[in-house]
Structures are given as structure tokens and as C-alpha cells.
Amino acid sequence: MNCIICGNSAESAICQNCAGLEPQEAIRTYCLNSASKNPLQMSQAIMNHPGFPVAGHLHHALVAAVLVAAYRNAGGEVSPEKLDEAIKRGNSIPGGFCAGFGADAAAIACGIAVSLINGNTINAEHATGRAQAHALTGEAMLNIANNSGNRCCKRSVYGVLELATNYFNRVLGSSLEAPQESIRCPFTRKNKLCNGKACKYHPA
Ligand SMILES: [Zn+2]
């Protein structure tokens, strides 16, 4: 079989080398090597890394990175430097931001991806590009705002990536792929704050 992170032949789903990576480096390695156009499937592969936490700020870098990589894999022009910048910007949002600042960072991470893809600046020629980034952040923010119960980073990732896949295809003219079957979260047992059957992604 091949390692789901680096793609090299391996004796288990994740090779020894990749299993020892820091999760941030696992995001980068996966996104540099993956040919997938399916951001949700990409996020699930990375979240399966043994070092990837149940919750926390790494989910922000994850969302920004898989969107940039999937856009590239669907034929979009985006340099490896932009992938690194996506991870860097995602990681720069402080821990606790989602609860304390009135804006969920998984939603902001979607806007980071579009900002990088469009090469947005503060100048007039990028007004449309900025509007595209802000509109996706806004839609993703409302998606998360419609959740109830405990906060769950897995649920936020699934929700915003479902929405962003649709948005990229509709607004950016990309051809990202959505999962063919509904998402069944494999992390419910690990997550002490799992909302159980109240969550649309719970496998029950
Ligand atoms: Zn590997």
C-alpha cells in the first residue's frame, strides 16, 4: 500500500517517517504530494495522522492548505510558496479565537485560501478578489453559526469544506470534487465534546 500522507510505498496506512512528523509538517507533506481535488477527503486523510489533535488551531491551517492544494490539483495556478503561506496564515490565528473573538477561524481559513489564490492586496484592482474572499468567509461563518451544542473542530471543518467546494466551483470556476457519500465522522470516540447523534456527521 501507499502512505496516505507522502504517497510512498508503506507497510501501513501512514509510513513510519510520516507518522513521526509534526502535524503541521504532515499537512504540508500531504498537500505537496496529493493529487486529490476533493478537499473533504484530503482533510480526513490529514486528520488521521496520529499527531493530529481532536481540536485546536491546526484545523485552521488544515482548511486553508487543503483548499489551496485542491484548487492547484484541479488545474488552478498556485505556487508551493502559497501553500506554505496558507499554513502560516492559518496558524497565525490565536488559539481560543473562535470562542473569544466572535468569528470562527475555520471560516476565516476559507477566506485565507481565496485571498492567496487571487493574490489579493488592498488595492483597487483586487476589489473583486477581496469580495470573493470575504463572501466565502461570510457564508462559512453563517454555516458554523447555525450549529448548536459543543464546539467541534471536525464539524466546522466538514461544514466549511462542503460549502467551500461548492463556492470554488460556482464563483472561481474551479472543478473541485465533493465526497460521493455523506460524511461519517470517524473521530466521535476520541472527542470528549462530541455532540453525538445531534451532529449531522455522526455515523449513527
Ligand atoms: Zn509517508
Any domain includes 14:
no
Any domain includes 49:
no
Any domain includes 182:
yes
- Compute the distance between CA of residue 33 and CA of residue 106 in angstroms, rounded to an integer: 23
In 3D space, the residue among 114, 64, 120 whose CA is nearest the CA of residue 87 turns out to be: 64
The grid coordinates listed for 168 are: 470554488
Any domain includes 50:
no
pLDDT at 155: 97
In the chain, where do the E strands start and end? none
Ligand 1 mean position, distance from CA 12 (Å): 9
Any domain includes 16:
no
Structural domain of 99 = 57-198
Any domain includes 17:
no
Supply the DSSP symbol for 9: B
Residues of the chain with pLDDT under 50: none
pLDDT at 204: 82
Q: Which residues surround ligand 1, an ion (CB under 5 A)?
A: 3, 5-6, 15, 18
Crossing angle of the two packed helices 153-171 and 39-47, in degrees rounded to 10? 150
Ligand 1 mean position, distance from CA 114 (Å): 28
- Tens of pLDDT along 125-162? 999 999 999 999 999 999 999 999 999 999 999 999 99
- Give the count of domains, the chain: 1
Any domain includes 80:
yes
pLDDT at 109: 98
